[in-house]
C-alpha cells in the first residue's frame, strides 16, 4: 500500500492496484492510493486509509490487466 499526496475532505481519493496505473493519474494532483493487486489488498488498504482520513469520495479505477504499450483505445 502506498499513498501519493495527502488526503483532504474536499477531494476524492483515487484508488488503483498498481503503480503502473497510478503514474497516469499524477497529473490530476488528487491523492492516489496504490493498494496492490487483488480484492483483499484493496479492501485492507482502503479500510486502513478510511480509518485515518475522510476523503469526499472514493473512486476505484482499474485497467483489468490492459497495461500494454501497444494497446490503443478511445475514451
Strands 32-34 and 58-60: unpaired
* The pLDDT value given to residue 2: 97
Residue 71 belongs to a domain = no
Domain that holds residue 27: 2-60
**Site of grid cell 473512486:** 59
**Does residue 8 sit within a domain?**
yes
C-alpha cell at 19: 503503480
- Residue 17 in any domain: the answer is yes
The set of cell numbers assigned to 73 is 483505445
How many independent structural domains does the chain possess? Answer: 1
Q: Determine the pLDDT at residue 28.
A: 84
What's the Rg (C-alpha) of the chain?
A: 13
pTM of the model: 0.84
Q: Would 66 be classed as within a structural domain?
A: no
Supply 72's cell numbers: 490503443
Q: What is the pLDDT of residue 71?
A: 67
- Whether residue 45 lies inside any domain: the answer is yes
Residue ranges of the chain whose pLDDT lies below 50: none
What is the pLDDT at residue 20? Answer: 87
Q: What is the pLDDT of residue 24?
A: 81
Amino acid at each position: 500500500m502506498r499513498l501519493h499526496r495527502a488526503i483532504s475532505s474536499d477531494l476524492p481519493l483515487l484508488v488503483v492496484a498498481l503503480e503502473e496505473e497510478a503514474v497516469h493519474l499524477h497529473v490530476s494532483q488528487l491523492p492516489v492510493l496504490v493498494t496492490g493487486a487483488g480484492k483483499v489488498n484493496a479492501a485492507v488498504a482502503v479500510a486502513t486509509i478510511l480509518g485515518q482520513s475522510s476523503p469526499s469520495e472514493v473512486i476505484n479505477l482499474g485497467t483489468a490487466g490492459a497495461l500494454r504499450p501497444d494497446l490503443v483505445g478511445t475514451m
